[in-house]
Structure 1
Amino acid sequence: MDWHEWHADYDRPGSGLARRLRAVQAQVEAALDDSPPGPLRVLSLCAGQGRDLLEVLADHPRRHDVRARLVELDPRNAAIAEAAARAAGLTGVEVLVADASLTDHYRDLAPADLVLVCGVFGNITDEDIERTVEHCAALCRTGGTVIWTRHRGAPDRVPLICEWFEDRGFHRHWLSDPDAGFGAAAHRLHADPRPLTAGVRMFTFVGRPEDAFEDSAADTSEDADE
């Protein structure tokens, strides 16, 4: 999978990725709006080009309150995110070219007010999804929000992922409609955050999911997660 080329579908009007991006951005904006006054910390795992966060922050009144770390392994995508942050004057945004699965990259900013795990759960095993959800309870502060995505192709794991979050002290704040053509959700932590263990790999990508759809002919279903 060429994750740089994959991002082109974000610019295709009506595509599953474009619609999912708008839905996620709306939840990012809501999370920022609902956050208490003062400094805000944001973590983005497998951030890609950072569109979900950066396009919201560019015009948001809390933009200068935010210290964000976007972790992305593909240097081409990271360079685009870095350029977008600098062009928008987002001095509190750091783009780190690194393996986003490693907990060490987040220890100094966790627990955060907002955690983005978008485009991850469609590319890892069920065991790794649950392990990552477990770590989200350490990455996120009490009252903070985790926004995540997962395609709804068979087997539809979205209901199970919701259960895993809710078993760990999260409350479901928003979930996309089952017929939206994509899966996305926002969960808020109502428990105390757990300690974040150093030196842990949360997940390993297994490649393009066989049960995700190409929607080049009809933009009614979600493209593969990233």
Structure 2
Amino acid sequence: MDWHRWHEAYEAPGSSLRQRLKVVQQQIGAALDAAPAGPIRVISVCSGQGRDLLPVLATHPRRDEVAARLVELDPENAAVARRSAEAANLTGVEVVVGDGGRTDAYRGAAPADLVLLCGVLGNISDADVRRTVDFCDQLCAAGGTLVWTRHRDAPDLVPQICDWLGERSFEQRWLSAPDAGYGVGVHRFTGEPRPLVAGEQLFTFIRES
């Protein structure tokens, strides 16, 4: 899969990916607005070109309070994200070329106040979805926000994902409508983060979706 070319769908007028991006950006902005005073830590899993986060940060009043780690395996996409962060003078943004499915990628960044799991859960097996969801309480700080995406194709796994998150003390705050053409969820972590376990493989990409 050419993940650099995959991002071209963001530019297609009316595409579901473009519509989803706008919704995700709105939810990121709302999470930054609601974050308590002080530094804000952000993790973006499989961040691609950073389109979810970087345009929001560029104009957000709390941009200079944000320390973000973007993890992306594709060097070309990571380079695009890095250039975008530099162009916007987002000095708190760190772009790491690495496997977002490896827990080691988040050492020193977790737990975070905002975790983005966008474009991941629709590209991995159901077993890996469950494993990744179970790991979210190692990524999120107490009171932190998780923004995630998943397609609504049959069989629709979104309701099950919400249940799994609930088992890990994630409280649903917002969920896109079933007929929106995409799935976006926002959950708040009401528990206490577990210590990050090093050396684990959470998921491997298997499909385009």
- TM-score normalized with structure 1 length: 0.91
Q: Paired residue for 1:46? A: 46
Measure how far apart 1:105 and its partner are. Answer: 1.4
Equivalent residues in 2 for 1:54-203, closer than 5 Å: 54-203=54-203
Distance in 2 separating the partners of 1:193 and 1:187: 14
Instruction: Give the unaligned 5+ runs of structure 2.
Output: none
**CA deviation map 1:134-180 (0-9, x unaligned):** 11111001110111000001110000001000111000011001110
- Local SS of the residue matching 1:52: coil
Distance in 1 separating the partners of 2:73 and 2:181: 27
- Local SS of the residue matching 1:120: coil
* Equivalences, count: 209
Share of identical aligned residues, percent?
A: 61
**CA deviation map 1:180-221 (0-9, x unaligned):** 00001011100111111011111111122xxxxxxxxxxxxx
Q: Which runs of 4+ in 1 moved over 4 A?
A: none
The residue type paired with residue 2 of structure 2 is D
The residue type paired with residue 183 of structure 2 is G
Measure how far apart 1:127 and its partner are. Answer: 1.0
Instruction: Give the unaligned 5+ runs of structure 1.
Output: 209-223
Distance in 1 separating the partners of 2:139 and 2:15: 31
Distance in 2 separating the partners of 1:172 and 1:199: 29
Measure how far apart 1:2 and its partner are. Answer: 0.8
- TM-score normalized with structure 2 length: 0.98
- Local SS of the residue matching 1:132: helix
Distance in 1 separating the partners of 2:207 and 2:165: 24
Q: Paired residue for 1:212? A: none
**CA deviation map 1:26-84 (0-9, x unaligned):** 11001100100111110001000001100100000110000000000111111110000
Distance in 2 separating the partners of 1:3 and 1:84: 17
The residue type paired with residue 112 of structure 1 is A
